Structure 1
Amino acid sequence: MGTLLLRQRSVCIIIITILYKYTFIFQFSLLFIIYSINAH
């Protein structure tokens, strides 16, 4: 029971970290696109 809960918690942490990374990459690319549009 405890090991299953620990596994679910670790999976949730992994999903959250992946989402944070993807949102960071998305914001960075969006800023880069806006910067390149403003440069022209």
Structure 2
Amino acid sequence: MRLLYANNSEKASLLSLKIHKNDLAIMDREVICFTQSFAFIQS
């Protein structure tokens, strides 16, 4: 599991990362759990 942090200006840059199942992203204090439905997101 990775913990990814992004503020408003960095949200788009998350899409350039290979996001795996169970990765967590903290965006503006909101925690999003990327499940299998998001596992396809990559650069």
Decide: shared fold, TM above 0.5. no
Structure number with the bigger relative contact order (C-alpha 8 A, sep ≥ 6) is 2
- Larger % of strand: which? 2
- Larger % of helix: which? 1
- TM-score norm. by structure 1 comes to 0.21
- TM-score norm. by structure 2 comes to 0.20
Structure with larger Rg: 1
